[in-house]
Amino acid sequence: MTKQDVTARAFRLNRGADGQTIWMLVSYRLAPDEEHEYLQVNSSVIALTADEGGASELLHFDYERDKADNYPEAHLQVVATSPAWEAVSPNRSLGRLHLPVGGRRFRFTLEDVAEFLLREEFVTPSSGASSVIDQHRAEFERNQLCAAIRRDPETAREFLNSLESGG
């Protein structure tokens, strides 16, 4: 990736317990918020593929702020088949479903995907990987909480007042 070329490209992950190779593609598009005070994520994609070119996609997590097509802003799509699903929904494959994952404020994170890869043994962890994941996830959650409070300070005040009054 360079200043002139910001095209997302897949990169190879460490081999997992069974020796398999998985590729990951990560793309984030940022822009200033409405007040031009903070950067916000306008869209992101985290995809796992079985090949470098991405032709053999396994799954992807998408986030698109103000998504216009009536799908959830934050969602997961899994490229898979299921005879049972095909019997229930013959015109809609699993890979076409947009499974909601937390909404705008508390959506998936890169850390969530890293944790999935480690726990399911698709990659071999580095020493201390879990604590780094936990630390960065906590930072993201704090930032999202601050953003939620900025957007809805009255609810935050009400809640803090209820704590003070013993409620």
Q: Would you say residue 5 lies in a domain?
A: no
Q: Would you say residue 24 lies in a domain?
A: yes
Concatenating the DSSP letter of every residue in 58-121 gives: EEEEEEETT-TTSS-SEEEEE----HHHHHH-TTS-GGG--EE-STTTT---HHHHHHHHHHTT
Separation between Cα atoms, residue 79 and residue 96, nearest integer Å: 8
pLDDT at 128: 93
Q: Would you say residue 6 lies in a domain?
A: no
pLDDT digits (tens, 9 = 90+) for 57-93: 999 999 999 988 889 999 999 999 999 999 999 999 8
Return the CA Rg of the chain.
Answer: 19
Q: Would you say residue 2 lies in a domain?
A: no
Q: Which residue has the higher pLDDT, 1 or 99?
A: 99
Provide the residue range defining the domain that includes 75. Answer: 11-164
Q: Would you say residue 95 lies in a domain?
A: yes
pLDDT digits (tens, 9 = 90+) for 3-42: 777 778 889 997 777 778 899 999 999 999 999 999 999 9
* Residue pair 30/70 in contact by the 8 Å Cβ criterion: no
Q: In the chain, how many domains are there?
A: 1
Q: Would you say residue 4 lies in a domain?
A: no
Q: Would you say residue 141 lies in a domain?
A: yes
Q: What is the mean pLDDT of the chain?
A: 90
Q: Would you say residue 3 lies in a domain?
A: no
